[in-house]
Structure 1
Amino acid sequence: MDLRVVAYDDPDAVKLIDGVQQEYVVRYGEMDITPVEPSEFAPPLGLFLVGYLDDVPVACGGWRVRGDDEAELKRMYVVDAARGKGFARAVLAELERTAFAAGRTRLVLESGLKQPEALALYRSAGYADIPKFGVYRDDPLSVCMGKVLEDMSGDLRAG
């Protein structure tokens, strides 16, 4: 898979974001209503990635600045036909790497109990439960997680 930095409102990104929103509709009965502005995912405030397989967009994810040292993961998604091949893990690793390189010391995210695959991915990558935040903080299906970022050598970032 070829990972490329794109604008949040790039046509390939929009196609994948529409796909993840439809996934939320299937699992939760509605789209994610968390406020998102495309400019939040433009450097230096954030980053959005699309993963391509044979020039076809198959995966996406992004981060946006949240607070002084945190970034929030958003719109992690892999199309059905490309699942189970490690693409989500590759996107996640690159988002962690780029957030760390941009000075973020921690990543946080909001997911949900009806996304067991996502929760398993995040837990296996070292994410742990944190206090709930955002528009779903009072939703019993919401799960919020966080992780302290490390550099490529495994040393914790000072901060």
Structure 2
Amino acid sequence: MLYLLDTNHCSYIMNGINKNPQYRKPHETKTLAKFHSVTSGILYICEVSISEIIYGAETAPNVTSIYQRFNQLKTLLPCLTVTSDCWELHGKTKREMANSGKKMEDFDLMIACIAKKYGCIVVTNDGNFSNLPSGFVNVENWAI
């Protein structure tokens, strides 16, 4: 199985990986336990999450610290790129969802489309992924 980490799980890893375990938040502890149990080479980040993390860093008071942790994360996870197939899937799926009265943020939908294109399970704590068409991608939440 291949896993694509959504931005929230990237944040949990970034925030918890260098903390003394007794100071980790429960969602950081649970996410890191699963992160460390998964064989390397099957965990990925994508360009969308990179953009979201950079935006978060740029709006935070501790920008330098976030970039340091982000650079550490990037050494651990290869990045999946957005292809023209991903964009096509995004547009078609967004239309399908609109026709059925369901909505999803564009970045979240693109993460789902990237996961589908590359055959990954999305690892997220975001309930929006339940709005996807049935069977679109598998989703796991390592934070619970």
Q: Same fold (TM over 0.5)?
A: no
Higher relative contact order (Cα pairs below 8 Å, separated by 6+ residues): 2
Q: TM-score, normalised by structure 1?
A: 0.29
Q: TM-score, normalised by structure 2?
A: 0.31
